[in-house]
Structure 1
Amino acid sequence: MPDVEPGVIWTRPQRTGRGPRPAHSREEIAAAAVRVADADGLDAVSMRRIAAEIGAGTMSLYNYVPRKEDLHELMVDAVSAEYDLTAEPGDDWRANVLRLAADSRDLMRRHPWLLRLVDSTAYGFTPNAMRWIDHFLAGLEPLRVPPGTKMELLATVNATVTAYVTNELATAEHARSLPWTPEQEQAVRAAYLTDRLATGAYPHLAAVLAAASAEPVDYEAFFARAIGRVLDAFALEEPPEPASRTEA
């Protein structure tokens, strides 16, 4: 691996070094890395594997992507282009945020490896990621809070979506690993829980579960409520509307 210095890949030329016209593009390299990660996980993304995917030598790939971290950044940027930012934000800032949160959830479910990269600030300001951030902030124009608070809202929504999808994917992975059906697993655990609650050792839990609906959980509605409660907290920071002259 050649020596490299700290830097941002977007400020570097498409290919370092002298020689003929580059045979590969960053877009091609990123697309190959995303395909590998989608199929086999982020740990399968190595410089050797991606070089083989695009038909290049491993060492020559470093001329295009000096570090593995740069490769990860290209991947984040590539999938960030999947956001649909064509619709103009409406006057309802809550609706704007909920739509973008739902889009983020879908993106992370399509690319589960993204969960391991979104927590890093190193990958938060790629060109396509910045377009998404700018669109998010445009949707917050009607919210009357300081700019710093809006960035906190964005970070909190992202953290909520990430936690929600992490749980969704872990639950799905657990279900796939079972040698029996999820329904059989739930039945056994429900019987155990019922037996434990009958001892009277957990009165508060028993009361809550007794009052809970027996209907299956609507996870789409649950997600919307979770994001809505985050937004409720930020809405409280808006200053009160000034009284009109008539009211005064």
Structure 2
Amino acid sequence: MDPERLWSPAERPRRGRRPAHSRAAITAEAVALADAEGLTAVTMRAVAARIGAGTMSLYSYVPNKETLLELMIDHVSGDHRLPPEPSGDWRAGLRQIAHDQRAIMRRHPWLPAALPARQTLGPNALAVVEYTLAVLAPVGLDAQARLETFSLLTGFVASYVSYELAQEQATEAAGRTSGELLDAQARYLRSVAVEGRYPHLAQALAMPSHAQEPQAAFGRLLDRMINGLTAVT
């Protein structure tokens, strides 16, 4: 994969008839398919069928599925709504970036699993990286540490959303509400904790529980992550 060719400002001009499709339209259809049916449903044949093209003709726009995945990831990265400039409140800026990432990943549930396979950064992703580095500028970290902080923050969000989605699927499969499953789990843990073999667990369970509302839970853990990631050593 040649990043310079992949992310060129415009598609290469073609001789003869005007192309029937565009790389952007093909990417949008692939994203819609992944949103509806999952990443495994995204094949060159399936995407070609959605745009009404022959499978082989699709390769003249996108050379392979790996390249299509790169295009898809950058396409949804464009869902970020970045302010023109950071506000100067770097903690609030990081929180907003992470909340945006979570919303995008939940809107596109295939994205957390796709990110580890990404090989390059497209223009939309680069805009998010550049903005985040600017947000982190007042922290006192060097440029490399700020870049690592962004990567670790994104990894945390992807891991959290993957867990959220898996729990929701498990709840749906069990035919019970999330509250019912949490209550059942709490009863079980309390029963084993009183046996005396898990004193630290018993201590944790004896404390008042935090709010379980998903947004609040995410925000609480996010603040803890930010505190650790931005500590200057």
Question: Do they fold alike, i.e. is TM over 0.5?
Answer: yes
CA distance in 2, matches of 1:212, 1:91: 35
CA distance in 1, matches of 2:214, 2:177: 20
Q: Is the 8 A contact 2:70 2:118 kept in 1?
A: no
Deviates more, 1:54-63 or 1:182-191: 182-191
Q: Which residue of 1 aligns with 2:224?
A: 229
Q: Which residue of 2 aligns with 1:200?
A: 196
Alignment of 1:15-30 (within 5 A): 18-30=15-27
- Which string of whole-angstrom CA distances, capped at 9 and with x for unpartnered residues, describes residues 158-205 of structure 1? 111111111111111111111344444444433333332232222221
CA distance in 2, matches of 1:102, 1:131: 17
SS of corresponding position for 1:119: helix
Instruction: Measure how far apart 1:18 and its partner are.
Output: 4.6
Alignment of 1:206-245 (within 5 A): 206-213=202-209, 216-237=211-232
CA distance in 1, matches of 2:9, 2:94: 34
Are the structure 2 counterparts of residues 15 and 100 from structure 1 closer, same or farther at C-alpha, using a change threshold of 3 Å?
same
> Is residue 89 from structure 1 mapped to residue 86 from structure 2 by the alignment?
yes
CA distance in 2, matches of 1:121, 1:37: 16
Are the structure 2 counterparts of residues 230 and 34 from structure 1 closer, same or farther at C-alpha, using a change threshold of 3 Å?
same
Q: Which residue of 2 aligns with 1:55?
A: 52
Are the structure 2 counterparts of residues 77 and 121 from structure 1 closer, same or farther at C-alpha, using a change threshold of 3 Å?
closer
CA distance in 2, matches of 1:45, 1:60: 16
> Is residue 65 from structure 1 mapped to residue 62 from structure 2 by the alignment?
yes
SS of corresponding position for 2:119: helix
> Is residue 129 from structure 1 mapped to residue 125 from structure 2 by the alignment?
yes
**Which ranges of structure 1 fall in alignment gaps of 5 or more residues?**
1-5, 239-248
Instruction: Measure how far apart 1:12 and its partner are.
Output: 9.2
Instruction: Measure how far apart 1:33 and its partner are.
Output: 0.4
Are the structure 2 counterparts of residues 22 and 235 from structure 1 closer, same or farther at C-alpha, using a change threshold of 3 Å?
same
> Is residue 103 from structure 1 mapped to residue 87 from structure 2 by the alignment?
no
Q: Is the 8 A contact 1:15 1:64 kept in 2?
A: no
CA distance in 1, matches of 2:116, 2:13: 29
Matched letter for residue 59 of structure 2: Y
> Is residue 170 from structure 1 mapped to residue 166 from structure 2 by the alignment?
yes
Deviates more, 1:163-172 or 1:227-236: 227-236
CA distance in 1, matches of 2:94, 2:26: 32
Q: Is the 8 A contact 1:83 1:103 kept in 2?
A: yes
Deviates more, 1:176-185 or 1:80-89: 176-185
Identity of aligned residues (%): 41
CA distance in 2, matches of 1:185, 1:140: 39
Are the structure 2 counterparts of residues 235 and 40 from structure 1 closer, same or farther at C-alpha, using a change threshold of 3 Å?
closer
Q: Is the 8 A contact 1:38 1:113 kept in 2?
A: yes
Matched letter for residue 111 of structure 1: H
Q: Is the 8 A contact 1:77 1:126 kept in 2?
A: yes
Are the structure 2 counterparts of residues 12 and 67 from structure 1 closer, same or farther at C-alpha, using a change threshold of 3 Å?
farther
- Which string of whole-angstrom CA distances, capped at 9 and with x for unpartnered residues, describes residues 91-145 of structure 1? 111111110110001000000101122123414x111111111111121222222
**Which ranges of structure 2 fall in alignment gaps of 5 or more residues?**
none
Q: Is the 8 A contact 2:171 2:177 kept in 1?
A: yes
Deviates more, 1:87-96 or 1:27-36: 87-96
Q: Return the TM-score normalized by structure 1.
A: 0.85
38, 42, 52: which is aligned to 1:41?
Answer: 38
Q: Return the TM-score normalized by structure 2.
A: 0.90
Q: Which has the higher helix share?
A: 2
